[in-house]
Structure 1
């Protein structure tokens, strides 16, 4: 075997072994139900129906609301726009429990909005639990994501088309119908499928805001079967059903998503002229909705965490033990995720250079396979394997790291795939002429040039791991607590003051890590551009 085949083969084999072991454990542990039994299981029908219902409603609300917001952000230029877009990007790596704490502070029965309604003499009836609370939290996380995706689609419209529409005085509804809608609809279905998948496999939101058996999803039912009922067979059966649903959704999205051709505009900038009072009012209202959705929960977390109780809460040794464990898991998972992604893409790129596209697609697809396997399914398989062999460890850090590493691979792959291909197109001939390959090429060409996307991929993978609650909820204990698990324990025990400090600390850690790595990446990009 040639050396260039080895890295990707090892990485793909490792991924397939982990996934296969989890799935085999599920298949052996799951009871063999009869078709009649499945058809007559009313609670299982409710779980599947509610999982699809909440995911569909969340995706429809997020994507539908994102259309006017994306149009407003594309057309308007105002102070704080860049900051607002960065906050929208931050929701992708914001720990779920921190956002839930902020949403409860604002929209809870004793929250800010309830107090305002009480002072105005208005009866506040909104419940942050059950379906309404789940939808609110999902929209908080996914509306900014949908907005960024649709804004990107609008920014891809060739400036020549916008200039022509301006010259023909096409405005209002006709501008949307004939110019913007053809570009928006290309991204609507992929955005809907992505958000649907994220909501369908949501765990922490449903666990904290679900309203009992009537608001339970498949993912939460798996956790309950293992943690409360200790029924591995039931958990395995639910995990297999969950896996089939996710796999079917991925296949449908792959078949139904059209291949889009990218057009290149010859002009650099073209700002459309948007006139009319109603257009200004609609755009202002759309931007205000995004601001009111994002800003108050973050302010709530900040203000609630600063007070007389802050110093006492920060002196708790258990808090800093949770911080240390979270940082350790996040750093190791981030390094492993980026390393495995580099190994996959290195070999995949060499296959493509040799026009062996089938093998290249297989390697790249091995990372994307994980999108169809929710973290709770992987964790359940690992739980069954350990329980039936060596037993569960008191400190299963390695298991949490492995699952978090696997779950971050699709995102790290997407961040590094295009830069590595561009680098190959730019430097392959030079490396061949200098007989530069293997470790020497990686050291002198790849790593220095790819430092910015590598740092971004590491930041994303690490922050995903730090804020993860799905895996640690299954393996966490009093002796093994990450910061999200510690926060969940405080919220469950109604220790609101201490939970506020923990939520603020987790938020600050994620912000600081994100800003530090972004600064290092930007400094590296600036240094590279000055050298050129």
Structure 2
């Protein structure tokens, strides 16, 4: 018990050191700069901040406006061909690297894309531009609308079967059903969904970097990157990083407060059974919306595959730099994932070990709160802000590009930590409830307990968490965009370079490779999750 708690303190101390040092470096640099060097309210900084909030607000609004009727349509139509695969499709953007998705969206919505080609054929002069605010909104809806739909659909799935039976017997219309039954369940979760999507849009980096379209469409994180890599203006980067830190702090505090408990009622506890909307009009509207959203999601994915297959994959695979990028990406992703899983496991075991002491010892209660809030602490500082802090801290001490792999690994491990904890902690709690007493009575502890008892019981959760963390690290462009160089090249960084030099065929081939690897990892993780759920039911 003492060893587990000590390991938990070590992890918390390491996290506090890594994050605290970066934030402190930003604060000290800002405090030591003159007003002319770091104008907090300069026109440029105000413009960037205003655009960041504007695009996040519009992206959230569009994503949720589409997600609400789509979730209703999927809930109303429980049986149709391909429904299971469509629900899986809603999870694809979560595991798809943003740089790969951006390339697919350009293939569909770009100047020479399918949409503009069709519009030109109809006599219109290419009215859709993928760059600027329009492109950012399209990309954010592509990523966040499926997430919002899944979350709202999960709320509709909680509606008791009795509600649907009564609505059918009373002959309630679609609007009445929405107002009296569906909306109360969605409303209880809607504020949290909007807050989550808004947070993701505020901290979006890769999509805005690729689709922003110039100074008029730049967010805070992209401006930080530009200040350090192109303008070499650390003072401005520090000011922007602090503003981003304040924004994320406010949003996380708001997320902790908004939302409420779902409305509950006395029911028989029967499985929910929804009656579909009556009439041909309702059926056509539901399936029309489902088909349109499916096409919106599938088209960029298909374009990535087709463009990648048309690229000269043989020549790409013959380039030394491509294999070096693949090896570097896999090495960084694997080490970052193992580090993240190890830290998460130590925190989870420490929280469990402190549980019996929490009722009598104040320090144990405080420790459990700190360990639980560790994931929120990580979300508080986005990768680009964390990277900017360490860039400012080390730039006069060492060659930051020489130690880039270490920084990228640590940043990626920390960024994956909240998701890894959410995978490991429920599995660990269930496992300990089943085995803790027997293990204690047999006197099995330490390494023997880990190998003989914990590993067999938690193996599936370990693999799931590792695969998920590797997928997140493989597709990350935030940290490597700051610290990447000719000596440290990952697949996303090489893809960014090829896109920047207008070598679109090479970029398409690299995007296909990166997308396949990440999606395979996500499919593996999903299969492990489903096996775990099936095993738990048995």
Residue in 1 that maps onto 2:76: 75
Which residue among 341, 356, 380 is the counterpart of 2:388? 380
The yes-or-no answer on 1:502 pairing with 2:510 is yes
Residue in 2 that maps onto 1:230: 232
C-alpha change, 1:25 and 1:308, in structure 2 (3 Å) is closer
Q: Which moved more, 1:176-185 or 1:310-319?
A: 310-319
- Counterpart CA distance in 1 for 2:45 and 2:285 is 43
| Matched ranges for 1:191-210 at <5 A | 191-210=193-212
Q: CA deviation at 1:147?
A: 0.7
Q: CA deviation at 1:7?
A: 2.1
Residue in 1 that maps onto 2:419: 411
The yes-or-no answer on 1:292 pairing with 2:295 is yes
CA contact (8 A) 1:314 1:501 kept: no
The yes-or-no answer on 1:24 pairing with 2:27 is no
TM-score computed with the length of structure 2 as normaliser: 0.93
CA contact (8 A) 1:455 1:521 kept: no
Three-state SS of the structure 1 residue aligned to 2:94 is coil
The yes-or-no answer on 1:89 pairing with 2:97 is no
Residue in 1 that maps onto 2:8: 8
CA contact (8 A) 1:70 1:147 kept: yes
Three-state SS of the structure 1 residue aligned to 2:395 is helix
Q: CA deviation at 1:529?
A: 7.1
Which residue among 127, 130, 136 is the counterpart of 1:128? 130
Q: CA deviation at 1:408?
A: 0.7
| Matched ranges for 1:356-375 at <5 A | 356=359, 357-375=365-383
- Counterpart CA distance in 1 for 2:177 and 2:445 is 52
Q: CA deviation at 1:244?
A: 1.0
| Matched ranges for 1:240-251 at <5 A | 240-251=242-253
- Counterpart CA distance in 2 for 1:500 and 1:458 is 27
Q: Which moved more, 1:445-454 or 1:215-224?
A: 445-454
- Counterpart CA distance in 2 for 1:137 and 1:121 is 26
Residue in 1 that maps onto 2:158: 156
Residue in 1 that maps onto 2:320: 317
CA contact (8 A) 1:58 1:196 kept: yes
Which residue among 191, 208, 218 is the counterpart of 1:216? 218
Which residue among 440, 447, 463 is the counterpart of 2:455? 447
Residue in 1 that maps onto 2:147: 145
Q: CA deviation at 1:164?
A: 3.1
- Counterpart CA distance in 2 for 1:191 and 1:18 is 30
C-alpha change, 1:475 and 1:39, in structure 2 (3 Å) is closer
Residue in 1 that maps onto 2:346: 343
Task: Render the CA deviation track for 1:117-153: whole Å, top value 9, x for unaligned.
Answer: 2223233211101100001111111111111111111
CA contact (8 A) 1:54 1:134 kept: yes
Root-mean-square deviation over aligned CA pairs: 2.4
Unaligned runs of 5+ in 2: 360-364
- Counterpart CA distance in 1 for 2:421 and 2:531 is 23
Which residue among 101, 104, 119 is the counterpart of 2:103? 101
- Counterpart CA distance in 1 for 2:457 and 2:350 is 18
Q: CA deviation at 1:372?
A: 1.2
C-alpha change, 1:386 and 1:261, in structure 2 (3 Å) is farther
C-alpha change, 1:21 and 1:304, in structure 2 (3 Å) is same
Task: Render the CA deviation track for 1:339-383: whole Å, top value 9, x for unaligned.
Answer: 111111111122234335442121110122111111111101111
C-alpha change, 1:284 and 1:475, in structure 2 (3 Å) is same
Residue in 2 that maps onto 1:66: 67
Which residue among 286, 303, 307 is the counterpart of 1:304? 307
Residue in 1 that maps onto 2:277: 274
Task: Render the CA deviation track for 1:415-455: whole Å, top value 9, x for unaligned.
Answer: 22222223333433333443444444433333322233322
CA contact (8 A) 1:304 1:501 kept: yes
Which residue among 467, 481, 490 is the counterpart of 1:459? 467
Unaligned runs of 5+ in 1: none
Q: CA deviation at 1:245?
A: 1.1
Three-state SS of the structure 1 residue aligned to 2:478 is coil
- Counterpart CA distance in 1 for 2:235 and 2:397 is 16
Q: Which moved more, 1:49-58 or 1:504-513?
A: 504-513
Three-state SS of the structure 2 residue aligned to 1:450 is helix
Q: CA deviation at 1:253?
A: 1.9
Task: Render the CA deviation track for 1:85-118: whole Å, top value 9, x for unaligned.
Answer: 2222121121111101100001111111112222
